[in-house]
Amino acid sequence: MGRAQICIVDDNATWLASLGRLIEDADLGDVVSYRHPAEALTSLRDRHPDVLLVDYAMPGMNGIELLTALHASGVSPRTPVALVAASLTDPIKLQAWQAGVMEVLPKSISGQEMALRLRNLIRMAAPPPTVEPAGGPPETAAASDAHSGDVANRSDVERSTRHILERLSALRDENTGKHTERMARYARAIAAALGCSTAQCQLMRDAAPLHDLGKIGIPDSVLGKAGALSSEEWDVMRRHTTIGHELLRDQTSPALQLGAEIALSHHERWDGTGYPLGLRGADIPLSGRIVALADVFDALTTVRPYKPAWLVEQAVERIVADSGTHFDPEVVRAFTASLERLLVIKAHYDGDEAYAPLVPLPH
C-alpha cells in the first residue's frame, strides 16, 4: 500500500483543519474530507478509503447512520472506522460498537493520543510497510503538495535539487537520526502559530533542512573533532553560515532563497551576541529566528554524542528562560502555543529511534 487514504466526515471546518494538520504532522497519510454526510455518501461509493473518521453529531444524518448507509452502498465493513464525538454517552458508544466501529474517540483527546490511535487503525488496514530510505519518511510529490496551497506549482527539478542539497547537508551532519527533517517540521508548526500563511509555512518546511548546508565546506579536522574546538577552530566552524548562504543565494527558487537566508541567520541571537553578523532583534530575519529555536529544541530533546536526550519539560524551561536573550520572545510564545503539535511530530520520529520514550505533555 502507498500512503494511507484517510477520509474524515465532520461538519466542523475548524476541527477538519486541525485534524488535517495533525495527520500531516504525524505523516499518517493523505486526507480527504467532507463537511456533509450526503456528500461523503455519494463520493465514498467510488473510493476505497483505508480509514474512516466520522463525527457523530452532524446535520441530517448522524455518524452511525452514515456508516450504516456507507456499508449498504458498498463500502467494505472491514474498513477501520473511528467515531468521534464532542460528548460521548453510553448509548452512543453501544450503537457505535454494534455498527462495527473500532475506535470511539472524544474530541477532547490530545493530539498525541489521536495520532497514535489513528496510526494503529491505519496499521490494521495496511500490510507491513517497506523500509524507509535514509533521510526521512518518503514524501511523494502528492504528499508534499497536499497542503501547500499556492506553492503547488514547484517544478520537479526544483524539488529534486532541494532534496539533493538536503542529502548533501545530511552527509556532513554529525547528528544521527532525522534531525533536519524533524526540525523542519517543528519550524513549519511554529511559523503556523505565528500566523504565517500555509504557503509560507510550507516554504519554511522546505527551506529549513538547508540551514547547515555550509558544513560541506568545513574541514573534517574541525567538523569531526572529538574534543573541544579551539577559538581558531570555532572561527572556521562559524563559517558554515556564510558558506551556506554563498551556495544558495543566487538561486531563483523561493525555497532555496529562503534557505540562503536561514543558512546565514540561524545562529544569530535576539540580543545581538550571535554570529556571523551579530544582528539584533527584528533585524534578524524571522526565518532565522524560527529555525534557531527549532534547531535548539531538537538538539535538546534528542540524544547527541555528548549528552542524553532532555525531557521536553526541561527543554521548554530552558528555551523559555532564554527568551529575550537567545530567542525572539514572540517565537518562544508561538513555540509554547504549538507544543502539542510539536509533540505529535516528535512522537512520529521517536518511533524510528530505539528506546526513545514518549514524554508527557508539559503543563
Nearer to Fe ion, 24 or 212 (CB): 212
Rounded distance between C-alpha atoms, residue 17 and residue 20, angstroms = 5
Please, what is the minimum distance in Å from the beta carbon of residue 183 to Fe ion? 11
- Shortest gap between Cβ of 353 and Fe ion (angstroms)? 21
- As a whole number of angstroms, the distance between CA 266 and CA 289 comes to 6
Distance CA 286, CA 193 (A): 13
Least CB distance from residue 8 to Fe ion, whole Å?
Answer: 38
**Looking at the chain, how many residues does it have?**
363
Parallel/antiparallel/unpaired status of strands 30-34 and 51-55:
unpaired
Nearer of residues 299 and 356 to Fe ion, judged by Cβ: 299
List C-alpha distances in Å: 209 to 162, 231, 263, 338. Answer: 9, 27, 9, 20
The only residue of 27, 206, 212, 261 in contact with Fe ion, by rule CB under 5 A: 212
Contact 37, 24 (CB under 8 A): no
Decide if residue 50 touches Fe ion (CB under 5 A): no
Q: How far is the CB of 240 from Fe ion (least distance, A)?
A: 6
Q: Which stretch binds Fe ion (CB under 5 A): 52-60, 115-123, 212-220, 309-317?
A: 212-220
Task: Give residue 29's region: left, alpha or beta (phi > 0; psi -120 to 50).
Answer: left
Query: What's the min distance (Å) between Cβ of 239 and Fe ion?
Result: 11
- Per CB under 5 A, the segment of 85-93, 98-106, 146-154, 209-217 that binds Fe ion is 209-217
Q: How many residues interact with Fe ion (rule CB under 5 A)?
A: 1
- Residue 337 buriedness (CB in 10 A; 0-12 / 13-18 / 19+): middle
Residue of minimal CB distance from Fe ion? Answer: 212
Q: Segment near Fe ion (CB under 5 A), from 64-72, 162-170, 196-204, 208-216?
A: 208-216
CB of 54 or CB of 213, closer to Fe ion: 213
Residues lying near Fe ion in the complex (CB under 5 A): 212
